[in-house]
A and B are shown apart, each in its own frame.
Chain A
Amino acid sequence: MELLRFTTVGSVDDGKSTLIGRLLYDSKSIFEDQLDSIKESSKKKGIDHIEFAYLTDGLKDEREQGITIDVAYRYFTTPKRKFIIADTPGHIEYTRNMVTGASTANLALILIDVRNGIVEQTKRHSFIASLLQIPHVIVCVNKMDLVNYSKEAYEKIVADYTDFAAKLEIKDVRFVPVSALFGDNIVNRSENMNWFQGSTLINTLETIHIGSDQNHIDCRFPVQRVIRPHSDEFHDYRGYAGRIAGGVFKPGDKVAVLPSGFTTEIEKIDTFDGELDVAYAPMSVTLLLKDNLDVARGDMIVRVNNQPESTQNLDVMLCWLNKKGPISRAKYYLKHTSKEVRAMIKDVVYKVDINTLHREEGSSDIKMNDIARVKLRTTEPLFVDSYRRNRSTGSFILVDEATNETVAAAMII
């Protein structure tokens, strides 16, 4: 069974909680005691229907204030796949949360209220999905029951969105007309929309091809840890533990170790369960090399004839996550794969107005939730790919040296 990670975006008004509740309920993933507790909470608040938002709003403040503060993770399984939902709130700190939820997702579920069509928020969500290179997007045109399940209303939104998405980098967009409230086209095919020939939402989630989402071409192995048992049985054992960030590795492959550039061969791919003939992303394995080289955490093992760029100058799209914006010439810790260096923001090229997608040049004042194109300089070279090519070797975070907080997420252009 495969694992699909998706993120849901939209505000309460779009019916996002209802949609998630419906997916969980119709796939029998809500337990009786959970349902009882939600019913009880709904009743206490004087709400007539079952408020599915209480399923995902886990914190006391969220329940009291009726808002979602943070990303919540939900799980459900159908006979075909296991799903992890990163449910991101639509209100405050929106960008920060959506970027977080999107960073690990294979798919984004974007909700549009059929009565309102494409609004500013839809554009914002779609831009972030595109920026974070989520491989698949499903647009749920919701509340079809409120427009008499009108084919024309649905088709207008499909046309408008297709038009708009052409400006973005979204590779795979699908549409489905639904009523989350009544369950039309969620798990069960709608009898009210016989004109719709496509798949139900759950069917698309179960069958969409995600096998090509990982990069199986460019071999990248960031070394996490050197394993030296120092035991009698494994006296000379020297293994490099890590999680494959791209490509396919086999014993006998000619590899280079960065930054030294020394070349050697993979002798063995080791695991607790025995040696492997082949290993690929995102497997965690231990590589043993033919020659005894000096390799440490933060180094990267790659194929000799396919190497990442080694650079101290980074050109990136940056999303600022902290209340305190960057101070001019301030230095940050930069975490990229298993490597940590220090970095300085050199230049803000432009900021993006995420509502209009316009570029604001000459505006260098970065605030929380801003997205900007910036240039950075690092103390040591990093081994990078463009984010478009590899989401792991193409991304990094910045950490404030004083507060230790994660202040920014970056995607390398």
Chain B
Amino acid sequence: MNNYNLNHLKELESEAIYVLREVASQFQNPAILFSGGKDSIILTHLALKAFYPAKIPFPLVHIDTGHNFPETIKFRDDIVDRLGARLIVGSVQNTINDGKVREESGRDASRNALQTVTLLDAIEENKIDCAIGGARRDEEKSRAKERFFSHRDEFGQWNPKHQRAELWNLFNGRMNSGEHFRAFPISNWTEMDVWQYILSEGIDVPSLYIAHNREVVWRNNTWLPYSDLIKLRPEEEIVEKLVRFRTLGDITITGAIESGADSLTKVVVEVASSRQTERGNRSDDKRSETSMEDRKRLGYF
């Protein structure tokens, strides 16, 4: 009789829904950080479940670097339409135009670090007191130390050495004015959990995650997608490969892997047997051993 056990995906789902409901109840003006990647897509899906049959009680915030995959933007607009949600776009190009940041130059220039300024501006302008993100603890070593409710000071900074203790499922979202929180409902999910969940729930994801033919360039030990934003170096050539992406960041820094996984089921099988971490193809993480921690301290997502 006594078979009241949840499987691991149902338990993780229940935990995430609980966190999302806490965010909605403890904050005045929360928002979901929506990048168009798989993690923010399942976050939005979980929010739909948490407040059903009411609408998701927060807007989606997209930090637009101007260096997106075109597919991501289309996917974002479709999802916003379908949910009837409000979309707030923070533009890195505008931040550059306003003279608040300067575009990087040099060989491996990217707009990745500039996003932080745009993000903190968007949070301030829209009076967002809790930005909900799809970061997971298994992604990266400094993220392994994150709380579900993560406090940010008035400069938007994270102080990893002085985090609040977080016990049981009691989340403390109290703060002074000018400060804000980041909340991470899928902290305990792994890449494998995310894919299994996408498969079992039949969640739509951008086609970029599935194997497709694409023009790519071999750079920094990865297949970088060819686009107008890439200047070919003398030694480089454009080749067509069957590839897919494990994460989606800017088109200028997100490497593809060679893959024949042309369906969700095959993606799950591939992830299960993968011997590289998913962010292994992200040049933004490779600038130094602690590049994620350094960016997170400043307020990066």
B172 and A34 form a contact (CB under 8 A) = no
Judged by a CB distance under 8 angstroms, whether B11 is at the interface is yes
A-B CB contacts (within 8 Å), total count: 186
B7 and A1 form a contact (CB under 8 A) = yes
A33 and B165 form a contact (CB under 8 A) = no
Judged by a CB distance under 8 angstroms, whether A214 is at the interface is yes
List, in ascending order, chain A residues with CB within 8 A of B140's CB.
Answer: 58
Residue of A nearest to B10 (CB): A283
Given contacts A32-B276, A404-B175, A2 and B5 within 8 Å (CB-CB): yes
Return B175 CB to nearest CB of chain A, in Å. Answer: 6
List, in ascending order, chain B residues with CB within 8 A of A216's CB.
Answer: 2, 4
Stretch touching chain A among B31-39, B44-52, B69-77: B44-52
- B: interface residue count bin: 35 or more
Q: How many chain A residues touch B (Cβ–Cβ < 8 Å)?
A: 77
Which of B49, B50, B55, B145 meets A71, CB within 8 Å?
A: B145
List, in ascending order, chain B residues with CB within 8 A of A61's CB.
Answer: 161
Judged by a CB distance under 8 angstroms, whether B166 is at the interface is yes
Given contacts A72-B144, A231-B53, A406-B164, A284 and B25 within 8 Å (CB-CB): no
Judged by a CB distance under 8 angstroms, whether A194 is at the interface is no
Which of A31, A84, A99, A234 meets B188, CB within 8 Å?
A: A84
List, in ascending order, chain B residues with CB within 8 A of A229's CB.
Answer: 53-55
A282 and B6 form a contact (CB under 8 A) = yes
List, in ascending order, chain B residues with CB within 8 A of A395's CB.
Answer: 167-168, 170
Judged by a CB distance under 8 angstroms, whether A114 is at the interface is no
List, in ascending order, chain B residues with CB within 8 A of A273's CB.
Answer: 49
Quick one: CB contact mask for A210-228 with B, threshold 8 Å, 1 for yes?
0110101000000011011
Given contacts A237-B53, A271-B49, A225 and B21 within 8 Å (CB-CB): yes
List, in ascending order, chain A residues with CB within 8 A of B128's CB.
Answer: none
From B53, B54, B167, B274, residue with most partner A Cβ within 10 Å: B167
B4 and A211 form a contact (CB under 8 A) = yes
B166 and A100 form a contact (CB under 8 A) = yes
A58 and B293 form a contact (CB under 8 A) = yes
B25 and A225 form a contact (CB under 8 A) = yes
- List A residues 196-244 near B (Cβ within 8 Å): 211-212, 214, 216, 224-225, 227-231, 233-234, 237, 241-243
List, in ascending order, chain A residues with CB within 8 A of B24's CB.
Answer: 225
List, in ascending order, chain B residues with CB within 8 A of A397's CB.
Answer: 165, 167-168, 170, 172
B160 and A31 form a contact (CB under 8 A) = no
Judged by a CB distance under 8 angstroms, whether B81 is at the interface is no
**Residue contacts A-B, CB under 8 angstroms, 6 given:** A103-B167, A214-B4, A234-B53, A237-B53, A335-B172, A395-B168
* A-B pairs with lowest CB-CB distance, top 3: A58-B141, A272-B49, A404-B174
Q: State the A residues within 8 Å of B (CB).
A: 1-3, 31-34, 37, 41, 55-61, 63, 69-75, 77, 81-82, 84, 96, 99-100, 103-104, 211-212, 214, 216, 224-225, 227-231, 233-234, 237, 241-243, 248, 270-273, 280-284, 286, 297, 321, 333, 335-336, 338, 391-392, 395-397, 399, 404-406, 409
Q: Contacts A212-B2, A270-B53 given; 5 further ones with Cβ under 8 A?
A: A41-B289, A63-B289, A75-B190, A243-B14, A396-B170
